[in-house]
Amino acid sequence: MGSIALVQLIGSAFRSIRNRVNAAGSGGWPKVEAVVTADPERQIGLTGSVVEIVYSYRFEGELYTGLHEEPVFFQDREYQERFIKGTRFIVRVKPEQPELSLLLDEDQADGMHQRFERIYDLHKRKNARDGTGV
């Protein structure tokens, strides 16, 4: 492994740990629905790659925006496809600082069935247009 790849791997590991530390104590924060407002972008730096997810959410009637930086090493395309513009997902909001929100992977399982339903509905509509049935 080259020295640049090693530095990138260490940088990705550090970002993952930082995301976990930031999430500590957020278990009691309210969950709200957020929506991706722009297609994710991969940012490549000396210390590794991140996929940036820009989103908006409402908390107690107010609109907020957030940015999630997911460290990636090999699975960047998969992560980008998972959060395309318009995708809805769950974030946790710090009640006393509602401008602070977190995207946690474990919260996304709650919305997985909704994604599958959306894919199924799209498939059903396409087949109805094509006349092929479900």
Query: Residue 38: its pLDDT value, please?
Result: 96
Residue with tokens 């107690």: 60
Euclidean distance between CA atoms 129 and 50, whole angstroms: 39
Query: Residue 116: its pLDDT value, please?
Result: 58
What's the pLDDT tens digit per position in 22-76? 555 677 899 999 999 999 998 887 767 889 999 999 999 999 999 999 888 766 6
Give the chain's end-to-end CA distance (angstroms, integer). 48
Q: Nearest 5 degrees, angle CA 41-CA 89-CA 124?
A: 95
- Using pLDDT thresholds of 50, 70 and 90, give the confidence band for residue 21: very low
Query: Residue 19: its pLDDT value, please?
Result: 46
Query: What is the three-class DSSP state of 65?
Result: strand
Euclidean distance between CA atoms 132 and 42, whole angstroms: 38
Mean pLDDT, rounded, of the chain? 77
Residue scoring higher pLDDT (109 or 101): 101
Residue type, 130: D
- Using pLDDT thresholds of 50, 70 and 90, give the confidence band for residue 77: confident
Residue 111 has pLDDT above 90, yes or no: no
* HSE value, Cβ hemisphere, 13 Å, CA-based, for 68: 29
- Residue 93, number of CB atoms within 10 A of its CB: 23
Query: Residue 133: its pLDDT value, please?
Result: 57
Residue spans per domain, the chain: 3-130
Query: Residue 47: its pLDDT value, please?
Result: 64
Closest by CA to 13, choosing from 43, 68, 50, is 50
Beta-strand pair 48-59/62-72: antiparallel
Euclidean distance between CA atoms 106 and 81, whole angstroms: 18
Residue scoring higher pLDDT (85 or 82): 85
What is this structure's pTM? 0.65
95-100 average pLDDT score: 95
